[in-house]
Amino acid sequence: MHIFDWKRYIITFIFTAAIVVTALLISSWINSQRVDELRNIQDSISVNLLSSDVQFNLLRDASCSDLFNSSIGQELGSLSDKLSYMESIGRGNDTDVVTLKKYYSLLEIRDYLLSNSAASKCPSRPVTILYFYKANCPDCDRQGQILTYLRQHNPDVLRVYSFDHDLDVSAVRTLANIHKIAEPFPNIVIGGKTLSGLQSIESIEKILPILTATSTATSSKIIRNQ
Amino acid sequence: MNSWRDILTLAILFVSLYYEIFLLVTYIERRKKIHGVFSVKTRTGDDLPRVTVIVPCFNEEHTVSKTLDSLLALEYPQTKLKIVVVNDGSTDNTLKVLESYRNYPHIEILNKENGGKHTALNLALQQSNTEFVGCLDADSYARPDSLARIIMKFDRPEVMAVVPSLQVFEPKTLIQKIQKVEYVIGAFMRAILAEMNALYVTPGPFSIFRREVFEIVGYYRKAHNTEDMEMAMRMQVNGMHIASAHDAVVYTSSPRGVKTLYKQRVRWTSGFLNNARDYKHMLFNLKYGNIGMFVMPFMIVSSICVLFVITSIGYDLITMVQAWYLRYSSIGLNMFEWSWPSFNWFYIQTTPLLFCGIAAMSIVLIFIILGSRISTDNKPKVLEIVPYVCLYSFIAPLWVIKSLYNVALQKKMSWR
């Protein structure tokens, strides 16, 4: 004789739902911690940038090493990696993440402007590349890999500022207009010159020979250490 | 949650967790009964009923002696025991081996043309006249106290059949050690399913029936080479209770390698799916209680879900290869440059799927621990549990997919 015990089915459902809801809550809490960490990094960059900006504008005596202290570059790089990760796990369109991306773009532009305005004072400042990308653009993914590789191998001499062309930020649109950013994507701007379409490592190194010199020096150092 | 794939995966994990928790809740509810130890000494030899054990053989020259020796060593009055060995047209030396047992008065040897296991069983069943009758596959070995322990379960008049606790016989290879863990979980699950009156198989190795079962529901059928599943389902349709004697241990020879394991499991899984199709009227039918509403639907759904999980893993692998290619086509061989991995909690995957997966895996480990507690011997070791956890999930989908393919295309299965 078969008996169907509804009570056990309901109790099981409650336990199962409790586990799944707990999993969702833990995941959501960790994601909110991630967003908090991104916010902390942005606050830190913002303070560092503001500090350099104020020094440059008011005192006019800040040293080049202060203005281009590599921690800003590293922090911008770290923030960029983390925002890319958030995009890769499908949270790129979350309101918090989109807001952080916009804020990050503005910080990048601010750092870029500061770098340009110090050009005459600091001739050996890091070289800069502006990188404009779009969603659903395979070549943009490739260009991203190439620029990440170059940035990681030249942390002291290269700063890459990447901008999502689809992001609704007027400052980014203005920057894109100034540099005549257009299809086909990706676009990169080196030394005020806009290059459209995918640019290889070799072609970028040809335009910026300092990257080759640095990479070679690094490679030689590795060989010597071995 | 960001895609239909994640939502579907979470739904599958929910169903899996539901199944596991249902079993766990049933265990907690019935644990005292499950752990109840039945003394084999509560009955004296005179009280014990007469039992016929049928041993169907087809080319079992290497194992049948050990099977028969295990029956002769049973701690059960041999005067109350009748052993019927049926040689189902073996083409090896099985018959010659059997002839050496002719001198035992309670061993009867029948010889017939090959017709399949069900025909061998039915031939012996027709000739048996004892109160209880059972089967022992010729590659399995009963522990001496097993039959007495099984017979004790029949003290409850509603029990019409009893299944033992199956353990892997002398596991040597990695595949056998993985199966050893699987069998421990299987024995635990059978104990719980029996409490839910939802057993869907009366395994060939030493399931014992009341004689009247066959008078009511009829003899064995071919049933897609899984006559032991079909018999259990037929009994369930007729509202007969199948109990589990988890303290009655029977050892069975298990496949040594992946190929033989794959073939055996394709037969089992295809057999289950085909029998479930034959008994589809049980599905989601309140009349059949837990087996109709829960166990059979879950088994079918989980088989189909394997297809999704494999497709999903395949998709992930392709995406990974594409990402590698993208990286290679961008920066060439520089992608292989070594750098020390750095730990950052930010990049650890913390999706709800991960936590649900951890919960599901934890319950499997609880099953292994509880299964080890109810298995009186052959307890799995850590070094056997690790490969089970790491490998089983990857090899099991192989036979599930092949079985779904076979069932969909109505492919006929062979025994070996």
pLDDT category at B207 given cuts 50, 70, 90 is very high
Bridging pattern class, strands B51-57 and B132-135: parallel
Domain count, chain A: 2
Beta-strand ranges (E) seen in B202-240 are 207-210
Give per-residue pLDDT as tens, A96-134: 888 888 888 888 888 888 778 777 777 777 888 999 998
pLDDT of residue B206: 94
Together in a domain, A67 and A40 = yes
Contact B81/B112 with Cβ under 8 angstroms? no
Percent of chain B with pLDDT over 90: 66
Determine contact: B342 vs chain A, CB below 8 A. Answer: no
Residues of chain B contacting residue A31, judged by C-beta atoms under 8 Å apart: 350
* Cβ partners under 8 Å of residue A176, min gap 6: A132, A163, A165
Concatenated DSSP letters of A105-120:
HHHHHHHHHHHHHTTT
Nearest CA in chain A to B22: A12
The region of weakest confidence among A77-81, B98-102, B194-198, B270-274 is A77-81
* pLDDT higher than 60, residue A1: yes
Residue A217 inside a domain? The answer is yes
Contact B169/B352 with Cβ under 8 angstroms? no
Together in a domain, A114 and A185 = no
Give per-residue pLDDT as tens, B154-192: 999 999 999 999 999 999 999 999 999 999 999 999 999
How buried is residue B349: exposed, middle or buried, by Cβ count under 10 Å (0-12/13-18/19+)? exposed
**Token pair listed for B367:** 């099953």
pLDDT of residue B234: 96
Other residues' Cβ atoms within 10 Å of the Cβ of residue B414: 7
Residue B4 has phi, psi (to 5 degrees) of -60, -30
- What's the domain range around A184? 126-226
Together in a domain, A159 and A210 = yes
Report angle CA A137, A143, A146 to the nearest 5 degrees.
150
What ipTM does this complex have? 0.83
End-to-end CA distance of chain A: 78
Counting one residue from chain A and one from chain B, the pairs whose CB atoms sit within 8 A come to: 95
Residues of chain A contacting residue B243, judged by C-beta atoms under 8 Å apart: none
Residue A1 inside a domain? The answer is no
Average pLDDT score over residue span B274-285: 94
Average pLDDT score over residue span B33-43: 61
**Token pair listed for B363:** 């319950």
Residue A2 inside a domain? The answer is no
Residues of chain B contacting residue A5, judged by C-beta atoms under 8 Å apart: 290
Query: Cα torsion at B295, B299, B305, B307 (round to 10°)?
Result: -170
Together in a domain, A130 and A114 = no
Does the beta-carbon distance from A2 to B359 stay under 8 Å?
Answer: no
Residue A36 inside a domain? The answer is yes
Residue A160 inside a domain? The answer is yes
Together in a domain, A100 and A169 = no
Together in a domain, A178 and A111 = no
* Cβ partners under 8 Å of residue A173, min gap 6: none
Residue A63 inside a domain? The answer is yes
Helix (H) or strand (E) holding A18: helix A6-54
Together in a domain, A222 and A133 = yes
